Amino acid sequence: MKRIIIVFLFYFLLTGLLFTQESEPTESGMKDIRKNSFYTEIMGNAGLISINYERLLPLGNKTGLGFRIGTGTAEAWTGLVEVNFIYGQDRNFLETGIGYTDAFDYPDQWISIKLGYRYQATRGFLFKIAPMYIYNFERLKGNFDVFGGVWIGASFGYSF
């Protein structure tokens, strides 16, 4: 009988300890996400469509910098560079940035300023959408019939 009581006491003690342990909530921040991204952007900085590579550098648990380089088309081949500031946690981020784009076959060059949303899943899926303002340097020469103004872009890709 003593054995049965000891087994029951041991059982209740053990199960009580197992179920009363609190696990701390895990917040996945900037340091836990994948740092490299490869994606396609439609209607973004480079015009109609672009292919991009981006590298993230965490600054803190919720902040980071993104450095982007890409090529695309907007009636001509374009090349772009961009620096982004990223704020958020888990998979959802606010992304703001400034970029420079050069149209290789035309004299067009423009700067873009954006503020958008970034979703980066833990398994690699990447989605971004951002309204932006694009200023074409040809406007300084008085040519107002050029690409520019308010624009919106969407990106889909993979982070690794």
Write the pLDDT tens digit of every residue in 30-42: 778 899 999 999 9
pLDDT band, very low/low/confident/very high, at 27 (cuts 50, 70, 90) = low
Residue 25: partners with Cβ closer than 8 Å, 6 or more residues away: none
**Extents of the domains making up the chain:** 34-159
pLDDT band, very low/low/confident/very high, at 23 (cuts 50, 70, 90) = very low
58: buried, middle or exposed (CB in 10 Å: 19+, 13-18, 0-12)? middle
CA torsion angle 131 113 78 141 (round to 10)? 120
Write the pLDDT tens digit of every residue in 123-132: 999 999 999 9
- Global pTM value: 0.77
Write the pLDDT tens digit of every residue in 49-89: 999 999 999 999 999 999 999 999 988 899 999 999 999 98
* Helical (H) or strand (E) element with 106: none
**Three-class SS string for 24-38?**
CCCCCCHHHCCCEEE
Q: What's the topology of domain 34-159?
A: Porin (2.40.160)
Rounded to whole angstroms, how far apart are CA atoms 152 and 135? 14
Write the pLDDT tens digit of every residue in 131-154: 999 998 887 777 777 767 899 999
Rounded to whole angstroms, how far apart are CA atoms 139 and 42? 24
pLDDT of the residue at 28: 59
Do 27 and 89 form a contact (C-beta atoms < 8 A)?
Answer: yes
pLDDT of the residue at 145: 72
